[in-house]
Amino acid sequence: MIRRLTVAALCVAALALLIPIGASAARPLRFSISEFEPAKSVHETLEGPCGAAVNSEGDLFVSDYYRSKIVVFDPSGEFLTQIAGVSPVDAPCGLAIDAAGVIYANLYHGGIAVLEPSGSTYTNRGVELTTHATGVAIDPVTGNLLVDERTAIGEYELPLTAGEAPLRTIGSLGDGYGLAVSDFAGTEGWVYAADAADATVKAFDPATSLTAPVEEIDGSGTPLGRFNDLTDAALSLDNTDGHLLVADNLDGQLFEQPRAAVEEFDPAGAFLENLEPQVIDGEPIGLTVDDSGNVYVTSGNSEKATVFVYGPFPPPPPARFAASAVGSTTTATTDAATHDSAPTPTVYASPGGKAQVATASTITQKGTLRVSVKGGMSPKRLPRQGSAPVAVSVSGHLTTTDGSAPPQLRVLTIDINREGTFDVAGLPVCPLSRIQPASTARALSACRPALVGQGRFSGETSLSGVPYETQGRLLLFNGLQHGSPVIYGQIYSTRPFTSSYVVPFSVRFLRHGTFGTELRANLAAALGQRERLTGIEMVLSRRYTSGGEHRSVVSAGCPAPKGFPGAVFPLLRASFSFDGPSVSSTLTGNCQAR
């Protein structure tokens, strides 16, 4: 169990967006909803918002348990519709929405009601599960429904049938409240549950153990130094960066009046920030995060019930990075411009200091153009002979020293060291037509079996000649183009308007030299002149079974000579071709032989 946690945490630490030193990074409060206008000249107010969920179109669903309704808003907070008569038995609270748009509402400490979309309305199928539910979620890996049943988590196959028994139970809880499932590389498929019995959030990896948690988060690092009361807690995962958000309902020692705190943790369990707890007050709270990293918090304040909408956790500036370890004081940074110089490895401590993972970063400048490149591999301890599954990460950010727009990036090429083999034999292929165009949720629903990695992108888009910043999620799928292997990079953004693109990365296997696999993308052809890429972060990592064999998309060994404990080698080479200059950076990696 310990080895599994360490490897996964190292993978996550190498891929997560890192927090800049000295910055007071915080999610901005975008807007709030407390009253709305369902019809002309008619205003209504939220009375007891409890659960929250976002569908594949980005619409927000909020359950109001005092009124037994679900209220639906568009991504900007404009009222769309109300679903009335949700529960004839009790008020709706937790919400989950599957890929088909079916709503699963857990009645407050009651069963699970199912509402199916029927045109512009919903058909209430009634209570399909009569379990004592305190949380509900859709597993993005399996598509199954997960239900927190107070002492364990039940997993149910969809579609539900009345009285259905769970496929299996996950975890052992003293008093479970709240539920979330990760879709972030490194913790993908992990199930998080708040346990009020010992005030911890427990993470279970069903692929490792159905009973023993791989991680327990007790609130260390928060202003209180611990969780105060996780009764009626809510959890959510930000799958853009793997962050965990926890609604701790009663922090009485922090404030004159008991108020709830929504606290955010990185994938390794380190506390990051509180989401303006002074404005979140009172009754049970619901949480959800959309595909763009926006956080929705429901507050049942008795004076003014409100839904708060926070923006994404801000990314770091490209030229200054830092990472700090959980349980360790080791910190490392890179903050210097180089001119086509050799890369310098940067060492990071792993959670608990049990192992180390090294990443490398360079900053190359030509004229006013600055290109920051970072890469890593996890785990670091690899067989001297043969190979083992690894995750490879690479990111690039473009800026200029004079604040002008970077030149148009036309071609991006990433070369991976020959010791890292790329193999998709037996992995399903995703047809281009199924993900272009599509939202992130629809692309995953259509091609999840072909997923080989994911990440983030940032850029600029031009609208009537005016540039706007854009960012969103990047999904990587196994594909074929003209009979040759290709990785489809599916990009989806909702800002400043909804857009979807697919960038094909051709896969070429090199016969000679240091590097064995080349990934090459013609960005100018895929994005056109209106879109300009300024940053990309991606990870290749996928384990799967084919023909009864366990396989990995990327595998590697440690090429250390006999008698040497490890090796240093050129890990990645990233090349950027612009309308003007071309820039190439090579990153040095290291490994430990076993």
Q: Nearest-5° angle of CA 146, CA 151, CA 154?
A: 20
Hey, is 533 helix, strand or coil? strand
Task: Kindly report the length of the chain.
Answer: 594
Q: b/e map of 289-328 (b: 16 or more CB within 10 Å)?
A: bbbbbbbbbbbbbeeebbbbbbbbbebbebbbbbbbbbee
How far apart CA 77 and CA 30 sit, in angstroms, is 10
CB atoms within 10 A of CB 506: 16
How far apart CA 310 and CA 440 sit, in angstroms, is 20
Binning the chain into helix, strand and coil, the percentages to the nearest 5 are 5, 50, 45
Residues facing 412 on adjacent strands: 521, 576
Low-confidence ranges of the chain (pLDDT < 70): 1-25, 85-90, 109, 250-259, 276-284, 301-303, 315-359, 580
pLDDT of residue 87: 58
Q: Which residue type does 144 have?
A: N
How far apart CA 437 and CA 446 sit, in angstroms, is 12
pLDDT of residue 284: 61
Is 120 in contact with 104 (CB distance < 8 Å)? no
pLDDT of residue 145: 94
Q: Taking all residues of the chain, what is their mean pLDDT, rounded to a whole number?
A: 79
Residue indicated by tokens 């086509």: 340
Residues facing 247 on adjacent strands: 234, 262
pLDDT of residue 198: 92
How far apart CA 351 and CA 220 sit, in angstroms, is 14
